[in-house]
Structure 1
């Protein structure tokens, strides 16, 4: 899938740099949220019955796996963000296209990751509501 530039080279580079910055910020927020959810559920798990513990343990394991996945994306995004400026050094369209294609691929991978995190958050909230005395209409 080829990346289609929007306008001129400078605006394309600015868009790519903005994407990289936004992704890095989102990944850092997700990192904090997942650590918070895991800590909260581990504390909550200590007070529950064995049947509920199994469900929570499975959810905590899933969160742990996503924490590792998010850390991978965070490291990759930081590396990517630092390399985006290299596109300014390209002398021809073939060189630029390599960076643009990499951007498109990375964007798709992060969008998939963000969808997985969103689904996990919904799962966390639904389990927390189910196991607590909260009554949300």
Structure 2
């Protein structure tokens, strides 16, 4: 009951936000635009994570044992996030392709179904983006600790 109420309120808030920012645009075009933006962001994250992994692997080879332990745990954490990001990339691609098959709604009930699904998908991706942001901060802070580079 509570979950349904939260979902309903979350959807209503999302619909109100949608109506304020997207007047004049139809629901499907907004959803398509979001999916396109998310897919591009996920592709960039994929590239960045592979770059960080490669950098840390090279960086790892010249470090002392205590530093290697920290870097090794960070590398395994990066690898887990690479797999999660690949999952989100596949899911987002599927979602993008599915959107093109959505028909235009004639009533609010129909539109609300699409918006609820879109809102849920958006929430999952936002959570993923937050985790990636934290990971990037962790990578930077750990490499700064062990490097001679000083940033004020």
TM-score by length of 1: 0.91
When residues 8 and 136 of structure 1 are mapped into structure 2, their CA distance, relative to the original with a 3 A threshold, is closer
Aligned to 2:76: 61
1:133 matched to 2:148? The reply is yes
Native 8 Å contact 1:87 1:96 kept in 2: no
Aligned to 1:72: 87
When residues 8 and 133 of structure 1 are mapped into structure 2, their CA distance, relative to the original with a 3 A threshold, is closer
Distance 1:91 1:60 in 2: 50
TM-score by length of 2: 0.83
Aligned residues: 137
Structure 2 portions without partners, runs of 5+: 1-9
Native 8 Å contact 2:67 2:146 kept in 1: yes
1:23 CA drift (Å): 0.1
1:33 CA drift (Å): 0.3
CA RMSD of aligned residues (A): 1.7
Structure 1 portions without partners, runs of 5+: none
After the TM superposition, which residues 46-125 of structure 1 pair with which residues of structure 2 at under 5 Å, given as runs?
Answer: 46-90=61-105, 92-125=107-140
1:30 matched to 2:45? The reply is yes
Distance 2:108 2:122 in 1: 20
When residues 46 and 135 of structure 1 are mapped into structure 2, their CA distance, relative to the original with a 3 A threshold, is same
